[in-house]
């Protein structure tokens, strides 16, 4: 075994990639990059009842979409494969037999009905709900008799029933848990597939994982895993359990209170750069007060020691602010590529690339997510319908004089420039006596459909002389 840092992201293919899982993947990725280690993707697909067709492909596509490149995994290979647990069942059986031989595991022939009655009795007696160990002490003869009768069984870990386990967690520091609170965990189910607990321990050891970085919900499973490490004579990896992600009301982040799937955020127009920056700060903080981080900067500054114990609130307003920052500051061509599908879906003609880039540049200063972009620039493509209040401004005597004046002068220009527009604005005040909102509101309404919008020279530049004249002409009475 080398001294190289090796971490893993080990999701189950049960559906979409949760933002909490993305944070786990991100922290593993950052720690691997910070330490020049390896980041491994392993698919924990032994729970066949929860397996969702296409979930693995979706998972890999989502990780690629946000730019989290793993060094080893199902589609990349590596020295420690296969990287699907369902393809490693023979490996688990070998170590399961070793646990049985060492009396660290036992056969359990309890039926679903037996377990249901046991739970009901425990609830009625206000006891902790866990397996009561009724099969722990079956004799070899009893076991063989049931096996000969082809009785269904699982295999459970023979957890100590007294004392406590003490371990160190990088975030939680010293943790101690009484053995009496730990269940005799099922290691192999009746369908022959291992549970998470056995496969997890075996794979982490054989894949030489040095640090297990995962969510807080797995903290209570550590004693079960440490028991298996000890029984198999293996050194466990270092543990690091991340704080919960919370809704603003401090409840656990869940689908019931909004989007939690990474792909949903991407579809809504959140940039990968913003999403990763935002998620990085949900439970981790840098030395200073900076909140905006490129991936390069995150890789340099990330530290497991700066992960918080307290739950982190998922503040969508902060994500919107951060996404707006990235929309305004990333390279224009990149934003234009990201926005392209929004324009195509809206049916807008973006064949003129120069014009398209100008429109995107205007829009990105007025939106928080890419999903808002087509609505923000719709007036460049579609002539607006006007409200009664807008019609009053358009039909105003001064507005009509203004439109006529601009039509006459625009037609006389060979082409429109920013200087020529500013000159016409100046002349409108000098020759017509129209200024302030009486000057700007009618022109914006006529050309952009709203009294608020981009600077007039920008609107003129994007629409072009012919379209400007066409829109003004339609409003002249």
Q: What is the pLDDT of residues 246-265, one digit of tens each?
A: 988 888 887 655 668 999 99
Phi, psi of 289 (to 5 degrees): -100, 5
CATH class assigned to 331-377: mainly alpha
Query: Of the candidates 30, 2, 5, which has an alpha carbon nearest to the alpha carbon of residue 297?
Result: 30
Phi, psi of 117 (to 5 degrees): -65, -40
Average pLDDT (125-144) is 92
Lowest mean pLDDT segment, chosen from 231-235, 239-243, 251-255, 385-389: 251-255
Phi, psi of 457 (to 5 degrees): -60, -35
Phi, psi of 68 (to 5 degrees): -95, 95
DSSP state of 43: B
Average pLDDT (161-184) is 95
Residue in the structure block whose two tokens are 């993947």: 25
CATH topology of domain 388-475: Arc Repressor Mutant, subunit A (1.10.10)
Average pLDDT (180-198) is 93
- Residue 138 contacts residue 103 (beta carbons within 8 Å): no
Inter-helix orientation angle 418-432/437-448, to 10°: 130
- Residue 230 contacts residue 257 (beta carbons within 8 Å): no
Name 369's Cβ contacts closer than 8 Å, sequence gap at least 6. 268, 269, 270, 320, 323, 327
d(CA 376, CA 369): 11
Which element (helix H / strand E) includes 410?
helix 397-412
Q: Which of 102, 117, 151, 255 is catalytic?
A: 255
Residue range(s) in the chain whose domain bears CATH number 3.40.50.620: 88-242
The pTM of this model reads 0.93
Average pLDDT (142-150) is 95
Phi, psi of 255 (to 5 degrees): -60, -25
Q: What does each C-alpha distance from 391 to 124, 141, 449, 450 come to in angstroms?
A: 73, 94, 11, 11
Q: What percent of the chain has pLDDT over 70?
A: 99
Average pLDDT (208-230) is 97
Average pLDDT (52-63) is 93
In this prediction, residue 257 carries a pLDDT of 54
Residue in the structure block whose two tokens are 């913003």: 274
Give the DSSP letter string of 44-93.
----GGG--TTHHHHHHHHHHHHT---SBBTTTB-TT---BGGG-HHHHH
In this prediction, residue 50 carries a pLDDT of 83
**What are the beta bridge partners of residue 84?**
43
In this prediction, residue 1 carries a pLDDT of 56
The 105-108 sheet, strands edge to edge: 105-108, 154-157, 186-188
Q: From the CB of residue 211, how many other CB atoms can be counted at a distance below 10 Å?
A: 20
> What is the band of 190 on the pLDDT scale with cuts at 50, 70, 90?
very high
Name the CATH superfamily for 88-242. Answer: HUPs (3.40.50.620)
Q: Is 255 a catalytic residue?
A: yes
Query: Of the candidates 38, 53, 30, 41, which has an alpha carbon nearest to the alpha carbon of residue 2?
Result: 38
Residue range(s) in the chain whose domain bears CATH number 1.10.10.350: 388-475
Residue range(s) in the chain whose domain bears CATH number 1.10.8: 331-377
How does pLDDT run across 314-362, given as a tens digit for each residue? 999 999 999 999 999 999 999 999 999 999 999 999 999 999 999 999 9
């Amino acid at each position: 075994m080398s001294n190289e840092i090796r971490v893993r992201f080990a999701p189950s293919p049960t559906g979409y990639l949760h933002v909490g899982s993305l944070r786990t993947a991100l922290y593993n990725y950052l720690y691997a990059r910070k330490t020049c280690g390896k980041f491994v993707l392993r698919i924990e697909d032994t729970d066949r009842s929860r397996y969702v067709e296409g979930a693995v492909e979706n998972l890999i596509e989502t990780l690629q979409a946000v730019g989290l490149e793993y060094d080893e995994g199902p589609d990349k290979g590596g020295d420690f494969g296969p990287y699907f647990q369902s393809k490693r069942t023979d490996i688990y059986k070998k170590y399961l037999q070793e646990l049985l031989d060492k009396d660290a595991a036992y056969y359990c022939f309890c039926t679903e009905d037996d377990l249901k009655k046991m739970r009901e009795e425990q609830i009625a007696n206000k006891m902790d709900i866990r397996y009561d160990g009724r099969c722990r002490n079956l004799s070899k003869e009893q076991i063989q008799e049931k096996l000969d009768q082809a009785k269904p069984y699982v295999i459970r870990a023979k957890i100590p029933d007294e004392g406590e386990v003490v371990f160190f967690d990088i975030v939680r520091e010293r943790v101690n848990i009484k053995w009496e609170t730990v269940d005799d965990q099922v290691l192999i189910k009746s369908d022959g597939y291992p549970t998470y607990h056995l496969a997890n321990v075996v794979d982490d050891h054989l894949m030489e994982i040095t640090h297990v970085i995962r969510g807080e919900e797995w903290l209570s499973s550590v004693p079960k895993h440490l028991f298996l490490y000890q029984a198999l004579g293996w050194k466990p990896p270092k543990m690091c359990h991340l704080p919960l992600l919370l809704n603003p009301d401090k409840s656990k982040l869940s689908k019931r209170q909004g989007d939690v799937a990474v792909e949903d955020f991407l579809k809504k127009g959140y940039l990968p750069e913003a999403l990763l920056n935002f998620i990085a700060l949900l439970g981790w903080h840098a030395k200073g007060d900076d909140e905006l981080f490129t991936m390069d900067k995150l890789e340099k500054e990330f530290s497991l020691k700066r992960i918080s114990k307290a739950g982190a609130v998922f503040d969508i307003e902060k994500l919107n602010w951060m996404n707006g920052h990235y929309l305004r500051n990333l390279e224009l061509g990149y934003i234009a590529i990201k926005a392209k599908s929004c324009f195509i879906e809206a049916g807008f003609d973006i064949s003129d690339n120069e014009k398209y880039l100008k429109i995107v540049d205007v829009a990105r200063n007025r939106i928080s997510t890419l999903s808002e972009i087509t609505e923000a620039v719709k007036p460049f493509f579609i002539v607006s319908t006007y409200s009664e209040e807008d019609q009053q401004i358009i039909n105003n005597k001064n507005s009509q004089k203004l439109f006529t004046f601009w039509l006459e002068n625009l037609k006389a220009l060979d082409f429109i420039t920013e200087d020529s527009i500013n000159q016409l604005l100046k002349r409108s005040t000098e020759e017509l006596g129209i200024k302030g909102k009486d000057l700007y509101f009618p022109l914006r309404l006529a050309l952009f459909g709203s009294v608020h919008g981009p600077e007039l020279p920008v609107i003129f530049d994007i629409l072009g002389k012919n379209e400007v004249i066409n829109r003004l002409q339609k409003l002249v009475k």
